[in-house]
Amino acid sequence: MPPINPSPDENPYASPSEPPAKPPAEPVITNEPIPPGTVPTYGLEAFFCLVLCLSPVALWAIFHAGRVNYKLAQGDLEGAQIASQKAKNICWLSVFLTIAIPIAALGIRSVWVAIM
């Protein structure tokens, strides 16, 4: 009967003699609050997208803009930066959709009228 715990020299399935891989570094989260204003929230821009563009997508941007200060209060600077970037990108998506949807609708309508 083979030994229960063979040595690495005897074990054909043992990994090569390399140091074990380090686990990925976790984001640094301090318990100390970071002052507001360190990371832009884009809350005002998200509100204007909601009011001026009449885009429900802007509600998603307002949600992420609100998470920026929440993350800063927790001391999560990286999470606040990610939420800020998402709020900005969603604002731009809202503006793009506000411009692109009517243009596409007019294009489809003009093609439809030309066919009829």
pLDDT score, position 94: 94
Asked whether residue 24 is domain-assigned, the answer is no
Window from 24-33, 51-60, 70-79, 92-101 with minimum mean pLDDT: 24-33
User: With the CA atoms of 97, 98, 99 and 102 taken in that order, what torsion angle do they form, in degrees rounded to the nearest 10?
Assistant: 100
pLDDT score, position 75: 87
Q: Quick one: pLDDT band at residue 36, thresholds 50, 70, 90?
A: confident
CA distance linking residue 74 with residue 31, whole number of Å: 6
Residue 1 has pLDDT above 60, yes or no: no
Residue 3 has pLDDT above 60, yes or no: no
CA distance linking residue 70 with residue 31, whole number of Å: 12
Q: What is the mean pLDDT of residues 15-33?
A: 65
Asked whether residue 8 is domain-assigned, the answer is no
pLDDT score, position 28: 60
Parent domain of 106:
43-115
Asked whether residue 60 is domain-assigned, the answer is yes
Asked whether residue 63 is domain-assigned, the answer is yes
User: pLDDT tens across 61-95, in order?
Assistant: 999 999 999 999 888 889 999 999 999 999 999 99
Tally of domains within the chain: 1
Asked whether residue 37 is domain-assigned, the answer is no
Asked whether residue 9 is domain-assigned, the answer is no
Asked whether residue 93 is domain-assigned, the answer is yes
More confident residue, 83 or 7: 83
Asked whether residue 21 is domain-assigned, the answer is no
pTM of the model: 0.67
